[in-house]
Amino acid sequence: MKLAEALNLRADLQKYVEQLRSRLVDNVKVQEGDQPAEQPTVLFTELNNVIPELESLIVRINLTNTQVMIGDKTMTELLATKDVLKKKIEIYRSAYSRSIIRNERYSRNEVRFVSAIDGESLQKKINTMSKEYRELDMKIQQANWSTELMD
């Protein structure tokens, strides 16, 4: 199985576990005299069957990510770089968005706000980081589809 297929399977299993959690929560308490729509014991059995499969898959994905080299870095290192770069871009975008001045003064006596940053250069940095993020993501995706999942 390719790493990308394992990642898709992991996402499916995580969604299924979340659905089981939701169904369990909805069925553990009913009015006296009523029956739950689904038996909690059956749902617990399903959950207990799928959790080990999910755990095993996560372990195999993590082991694979620590062993796969892309250039001079492991997949794990590139994924960490990607996550941090995404967060940095989000923060820069928030700062840029907040720096845009909309002068909505109704008289000269009201407070006037001015930007404390150069929005144009900040936007260029955002664009550069976004391009770097896309290129990094493409490298990772390419490796995901060409790498066999380790046992």
* Alpha-carbon span 125 to 114, nearest angstrom: 21
Domain range summary for the chain, segments of one domain joined by +: 1-67, 70-103+111-146
Residues near 55 by beta carbon (within 8 Å), at least 6 away in sequence: none
pTM: 0.81
Task: Please identify which residue in the block is written with the tokens 């993020």.
Answer: 133
Convert the pLDDT of each residue in 12-52 to its tens digit: 999 999 999 999 999 999 999 999 999 999 999 999 999 99
* 84 backbone φψ class: left, alpha, beta (φ>0; ψ -120 to 50): alpha
How does pLDDT run across 89-113, given as a tens digit for each residue?
A: 999 999 999 888 766 666 667 777 7
Residues 6+ apart with CB under 8 A from 41: none
